[in-house]
């Protein structure tokens, strides 16, 4: 049973307090926050009980262990402790320098990580460079950035720890370090991912959410990959930084007369009418360089740049979370973002003897 809309607000103050308490208690375990704001849709914690990709939950007494708390076989926080002890430091140093030089690269690395996850899980398949064949050349990948940075990091790691660190682990760590560089709480990672050998452009165009999907479509996509409805809402909040091209914004403008705030709609039409498809629009026009909850406040005001974002507010399955994040301090969102990003990096991964450890992130081994 869902809590009626009128019953959501009394829970909000309690939800923020509970989340902060959970965030504090789990910090010792390396997590960035709790899994869900209690009361956002009438439940405390997780939004659903669907199993993750690597397990089906378990019982400890009367408690159902959520799938996201179960260990993924083959992943270990100490995976490189002996074989490449400086791995995390090398990645972090390179990412932080890159983000200092170009702040917009933080959003780009997070997006690159998500696009990789969307096709066959986090296996670095998006990095493979096969013109007109690999995911990198899909229409969905047209504006992806960060490839050169990942390749530079891989080159440095190969010099220090030859044939040891996978590109999938590098990309996962780089996305974490990009997020923490712009204000997201640090979360610890487990390593041992292997790199995929297949990368097909058509799969990226078919699987990567690129606008036009309904909320139902997005929920199905997330749940089929072991994530939940709250992960959908939270990870969409990455749009609190970053930009969209007018080519992505313009097609939906004519259909949004009833949901797009009039003055903001006029601004978008002028901005994208004067520029070409490559013109950029800040996804959060209020605080574009701050990783905060302004994205959700924008949805409440009808000021989402992308139609797929705005659709989450009126939907009964996602709207409660949007309102909870909009009405509470930014800490509530950023702590949950860290948790959802950790889950993203452990969904549908290759481990053990699966896949390979590439020598170059842009090419499979031969």
Query: Residue ranges for the binding site?
Result: 116, 119, 121, 123, 125, 135, 209, 239-240, 284, 287, 292
Q: Which residues pair with 360 in a beta bridge?
A: 363
Binding-site residue ranges for Ca(2+) = 116, 119, 121, 123, 125, 135, 240, 284, 287, 292
Q: Which residues pair with 282 in a beta bridge?
A: 243
Binding-site residue ranges for substrate = 209
Binding-site residue ranges for heme b = 239
How far apart, in whole angstroms, are the C-alpha atoms of residue 60 and residue 31? 21
Q: SS3 of 185, please?
A: coil
How far apart, in whole angstroms, are the C-alpha atoms of residue 113 and residue 298? 25
Distances (CA, A) of 211 to 214, 219, 247, 308, 364: 9, 14, 11, 6, 31
Are 150 and 194 a contacting pair, CB within 8 Å? no
How far apart, in whole angstroms, are the C-alpha atoms of residue 192 and residue 143? 29
Structure tokens at 6: 């009128």
How far apart, in whole angstroms, are the C-alpha atoms of residue 161 and residue 145? 26
Positions annotated as catalytic residues are: 115
């Amino acid at each position: 049973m869902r809590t009626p809309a009128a019953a959501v607000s009394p829970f909000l103050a309690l939800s923020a307090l509970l989340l902060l308490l959970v965030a504090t208690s789990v910090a010792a375990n390396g997590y960035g926050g709790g899994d869900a704001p209690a009361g956002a849709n009438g439940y405390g914690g997780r939004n659903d009980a669907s199993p993750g990709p690597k397990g089906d939950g378990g019982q400890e007494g009367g408690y159902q262990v959520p799938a996201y708390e179960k260990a993924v076989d083959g992943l270990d926080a100490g995976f490189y402790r002996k074989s490449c002890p400086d791995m995390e430091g090398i990645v972090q140093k390179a990412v932080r320098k890159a983000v200092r030089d170009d702040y917009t690269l933080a959003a780009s690395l997070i997006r690159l990580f998500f696009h990789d996850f969307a096709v066959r899980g986090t296996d670095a398949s998006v990095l493979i460079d096969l013109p007109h064949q690999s995911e990198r050349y899909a229409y969905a990948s047209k504006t992806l950035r960060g490839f050169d940075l990942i390749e530079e990091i891989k080159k440095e790691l190969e010099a220090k720890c030859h044939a040891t660190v996978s590109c999938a682990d590098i990309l996962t760590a780089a996305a974490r370090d990009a997020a923490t560089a712009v204000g997201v709480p640090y979360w610890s990672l487990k390593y041992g991912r292997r790199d995929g050998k297949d990368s097909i452009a058509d799969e990226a165009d078919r699987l990567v959410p690129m606008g036009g999907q309904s909320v139902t479509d997005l929920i199905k996509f997330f749940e089929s990959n072991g994530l939940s409805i709250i992960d959908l809402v939270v990870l969409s909040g990455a749009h609190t930084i970053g930009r969209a091209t007018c080519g992505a914004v313009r097609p939906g403008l004519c259909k949004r007369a009833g949901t797009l705030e009039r003055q903001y709609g006029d601004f978008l039409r002028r901005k994208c009418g004067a520029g070409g498809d490559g013109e950029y629009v800040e996804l959060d026009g209020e605080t574009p360089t701050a990783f905060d909850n302004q994205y959700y406040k924008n949805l409440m005001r009808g000021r989402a740049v992308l139609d797929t974002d705005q659709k989450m507010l009126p939907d009964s399955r996602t709207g409660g979370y949007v309102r909870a994040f909009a009405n509470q301090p930014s800490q509530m969102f950023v702590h949950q973002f860290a948790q959802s990003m950790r889950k993203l990096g452990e969904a549908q991964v290759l481990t053990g003897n699966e896949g390979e450890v590439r020598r170059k992130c842009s090419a499979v081994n031969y």
